[in-house]
Structure formats: C-alpha cells, structure tokens
Structure 1
Amino acid sequence: MARNPPPHGLRERKKRRTRATLIDAAAGLFLAQGYDNTTVDQIAAAADVSPRTFSRYFPTKVSVVAAITDELDELIADAMDRLPGEMTAYDALLAASLEVFRATDGVDSPGFRRMAMLIQIMNGSTSYRASALALRHEVTNKATMHVMARRMNVPVDHRAVTLVTDVWAVIFSDSFAGLGQPGNHPIESAVICERLAATVSLFHSTWTPWAGISAADGEPPTSA
C-alpha cells in the first residue's frame, strides 16, 4: 500500500531546515577557507546533501550569501519601521542599522554576527564583490525598500526608493572596506557602528560648501 505523503507543513519545515543548513555550511566554509576557494560541491558535502539538492535551493554560491543579506535586511527593516516618520531616509537607515549592529551588555547582536560574516567574506574575495554587485541590480523586493516606500509615501518601485537603496549600498561598502584585513581595524560591533556613522556624517557634509569643512570630518579610521 502506498504511503501517504507528509503533511504540507512538515515538508515546508524540512525545506527551511535544509536551506538553513546549506547557508550555515556555506558561511562556515567561506570564513574558514575563503569564498574564492569554496565550491558548491564542498558546500553540499558539508551540509550532507547532494550538489543537485543544493541547486534546488540556490542557483550559485553567491546566492547563498545573498540569502544572508536577506536576513540582515529584514532585521534592519523591522528596526526602521519603528522609527519616527519625520526622519530622512538616510538618517532612518543609519539609526536602524546602528540598532541592529550595536552590542547589548557586552553581548554581540545576531545582526552584528551576520554583518561581521558578510564583511569577512566581501573583504576577502574579489570575485564575490563583482558577482554581488551584479546581483544587487536584480533585487527589487527587499524588506527595507518596502518600509522606505511606506515612509516616503511612494510605490516600492519609485525611483526615489531605488536611488536611496543604491546610495546606501555604496555607503555600506565604503564604511566597511578593509575591516578585518591586515593593518586595519578588527570587525567589532563598536568599530562597525563608528565607521558607518562617520561615513554618513561625511556624506551629509558633501551637501554643504566644502570650504568650511575640515578634511578629516566624518572620515573613519583606516588602520588599527
């Protein structure tokens, strides 16, 4: 007699567990041996699944890292959604990011741990930075974009939302470049928060006459 298929809810839970296992296995390998030196076959083996199973969840290894960014994006979106509506888009993004990255009573937050992992991967891999840039232009349904659209009272596909998102990606990249690499600051919660706040401050400064601004204003430290 044929066995009954498992309930829909059970199948979905198994899929989520497999997806989470693949993400964790990939992250561990990326950090241990570098993104460029990690293959899909290695990720599948570490997760105890076949490469074919991996491909059912992620088309490429860069898409695994994109899944980590999705988790981080949802944390920042949730924090931003609770902020006063009169804040500018950039100030709201900064405040939400600082809340997500900041340690509490000396304990690193889940958001910081995810961000630290992304920084280590991105700063250690030229090929990832190139593929991630291409992937970013295909993303149109991020949680922060929806929150931002509500705050700005425009559709999520409005050009203003896309523009802020792209500018913020550049601010992120500039803030964390080099962290964790030889001769630079370690990847720590306080360092991430300080550098991000300094970069946003410098960005704001570019909207005023530059002659009245010190060249050092807003500049994050570049070495330990």
Structure 2
Amino acid sequence: MSVPAEQVGLRARKKQRTRSALIDAGVDLFLENGYDTTTIDEIAAQVDISPRTCFRYFAGKEDIALAKAAAFDELVVEALRARPSREAPLAALRHAVLAMVRDSATSEGVRRFLRIQHLINKTPALLAGNLRRTAATEERLTTEIAEREGVDPAADMRPRILVGVVYAALRIGMEAMCADPSRELDRMVELVERAIDLATAGLPESWGPDNRTW
C-alpha cells in the first residue's frame, strides 16, 4: 500500500525541522561552551531526542558545526547556476557570492553569522573540516564556470583560478569583518565586495580564446 503524498510531505517537513533544530542547538552550545567540550549527547538533549537519532541526521558534531557554512556554499552554487548564461564569469560569480553573503547574514543575523565564522576559524578541527568542505565547493563552482564558458577545466586553468581567487577574497573579507567593530549588514557586504574587487582587479570580464591568458 502506497503512503499518501501528504504523509510523505509531513514526514519530510518533520525531519527538516529536527535537522534545523539540531543545527541551532549545536551552534548555541558551541558558542556558549566551546566546540571541544560540547558533546552529541548534550546537543541531542536540547532537541529532546536520543543521541542515536541524532546520528541519523549527522555523522558527528563537526557536521553540525559546519552545516550552516555548507548551506551557504550550496546556495552560492545554486545562485551561480541561476545567473544569466551570457553573463561574464567574474561578474556571475561575484554577484552569486555577494547575494548569498547578504541573504545568509540577513536570515541568520549578522552577529550570529560572524560568531559562527569566528568559531570555525579559531577551532583547529573545524578549520580543517571547513577547508575540506571549501575545496569541494570550489571544485563544483569550477565545473559550473567551465561549463558556462564551454571549456575543459582539466586543460584550462582559468575557471579554477577565478574561483580560488574569489573564495580567498571572501575569506579575507569575512576575517576583516570579524575584526571590525561594526556589526552592520551593509558593512559586511562592503568589506567582502571590496576584497573581491581588489583580488580580481586585473582580471577581465570576458575571456579570450587562448587559455594561456585571460
């Protein structure tokens, strides 16, 4: 007997609510008590589920801590795919990143958004995991840029270089914001935008046919 569609939808929404609650509970505990001292048992207790159930959603607390960063990267990939196909690669990636910085900080709250970034940067285990996650995201963005430009990323380094430069600038812009006394959304977007523009100042909007030069 098939399960009614409304029941499937209800279960999916319940799972998503539980997952979101675990992420929020985990982040709250990490920020309050520190990442290393927080346990899965404590996170699960905040959501009133068993640790065993928690492991159905996440492999461990690192995945919980990095979940919001992973969601941000997913949104950047989706935003890039949604950019006009004729848009130059630099403009498309720049717009995608800046839009998601603004949207993510707006939905999360600037202070909390920055505290999560700071937590990742100051926690060695999370920093290592975040670097692995970022590398995977950059690979996806590289593939997307290469497809948009009709080039082979194995033979043409430009997509990989562009993505690497923009993501390095994103990191530097966020670090600058963490050190800035302002906690205003516009200020954060301004610093990230400035970092990207400085990093890509010598890059042309459109690429030439020779993959040995821009």
- With normalisation by structure 1, the TM-score equals 0.67
How far apart in 1 are the matches of 2:80 and 2:9? 31
The residue number in structure 1 matching 2:27 is 27
Question: Does the CA contact (< 8 Å) of 2:80 and 2:96 recur in 1?
Answer: yes
Residue 153 of structure 1, aligned match among 117, 132, 150: 150
Matches within 5 A, 1:97-108: 97-102=97-102
Secondary structure of the equivalent of 1:185?
coil
Q: 1:190 to 1:149 in 2, by over 3 A?
A: same
Deviation at 1:17, TM superposition (A): 2.2
Matches within 5 A, 1:168-187: 168-177=166-175, 179-181=177-179, 184-187=180-183
Residue 114 of structure 2, aligned match among 116, 134, 142: 116
How far apart in 1 are the matches of 2:148 and 2:187? 29
Deviation at 1:164, TM superposition (A): 4.1
The residue number in structure 1 matching 2:127 is 129
How far apart in 2 are the matches of 1:139 and 1:73? 6
- AA paired with 1:153? G
Query: Is 46-55 or 81-90 further displaced after alignment?
Result: 81-90
Residue 192 of structure 1, aligned match among 174, 188, 191: 188
How far apart in 2 are the matches of 1:93 and 1:112? 23
The residue number in structure 1 matching 2:58 is 58
How far apart in 1 are the matches of 2:155 and 2:169? 20
How far apart in 1 are the matches of 2:177 and 2:153? 32
Q: Any idea what the Cα deviations from partners look like across 1:112-147, whole Å, max 9, x if unmatched?
A: 6584354233244333212321344455885x5665
The residue number in structure 1 matching 2:90 is 90
Question: Does the CA contact (< 8 Å) of 1:90 and 1:164 recur in 2?
Answer: yes
Greater share of helix residues, 1 or 2? Answer: 2
How far apart in 2 are the matches of 1:66 and 1:141? 18
Q: 1:86 to 1:117 in 2, by over 3 A?
A: farther
The residue number in structure 2 matching 1:212 is none
Deviation at 1:22, TM superposition (A): 1.0
- AA paired with 1:125? T
Aligned-CA RMSD value: 3.7
The residue number in structure 2 matching 1:213 is none
Count the aligned residue pairs: 198
The residue number in structure 2 matching 1:72 is 72
The residue number in structure 1 matching 2:211 is none
How far apart in 1 are the matches of 2:152 and 2:108? 27
How far apart in 1 are the matches of 2:9 and 2:119? 34
The residue number in structure 1 matching 2:210 is none
Q: Any idea what the Cα deviations from partners look like across 1:33-68, whole Å, max 9, x if unmatched?
A: 333443222211212222222222111222123331
Question: Does the CA contact (< 8 Å) of 2:138 and 2:163 recur in 1?
Answer: no
- AA paired with 2:128? A
How far apart in 1 are the matches of 2:8 and 2:153? 32
How far apart in 2 are the matches of 1:138 and 1:74? 11
Residue 201 of structure 1, aligned match among 194, 197, 200: 197
* Structure 2 residue ranges without an equivalent (≥5): 205-214
Question: Does the CA contact (< 8 Å) of 1:75 and 1:111 recur in 2?
Answer: no
Secondary structure of the equivalent of 1:49?
coil
Q: 1:102 to 1:66 in 2, by over 3 A?
A: closer
